[in-house]
Amino acid sequence: MGYANAKIYKCPKCPAPDCYKSFSSDKDDNPKCDNQDCTETLELLRHVSFCDCPGHDSFMSTMLTGAAVMDAAMLLVAANVDCPQPQTAEHLVALEIMKLEHMIILQNKIDIIFKDKDKLKLNYKQIK
């Protein structure tokens, strides 16, 4: 299982998207903007944590423990296998029980079946 975290900042002066910056979590909470001709102090918007919870049975309890403090989730689904896999279904049930409102589903490994449009569309329908 993998884990990483970061801080996301916004410059109050610079226009989007250049106003947004991200740094590792050990970065000072009040860094200066590094855009040209800007000396503003960046405002900390939020801390973000990324936890890779592989779809293996042995990691399900770890995912549930971490899910207790989640605001959102990204579910990565492989395009070259039928969906849902048993562990994917378990993860979705867990997220539903937690009433997690923000979720992004990503279709991965499209390059493996890119030439087979029918299989790609079938996988997309399975995900939906």
53-67, 81-95, 114-128: least confidently modelled range: 53-67
Q: Which residue ranges does the chain devote to CATH 3.40.50.300?
A: 54-128
| Confidence bin at 56 (pLDDT 50/70/90) | low
Fold of 54-128: Rossmann fold (3.40.50)
- Which has more pLDDT, 33 or 81? 33
Average pLDDT value for the chain: 82
What would the mean pLDDT of 105-109 be, rounded to a whole number? 86
pLDDT for 121: 85
Buried b (16+ CB within 10 A) or exposed e, 31-68: eebeeeeeeeebebeeeeeebebebeeeebeebeeebe
- Which has more pLDDT, 95 or 9? 9
What would the mean pLDDT of 43-54 be, rounded to a whole number? 78
Contact (CB, 8 A) for 78 and 109: yes
pLDDT for 55: 58
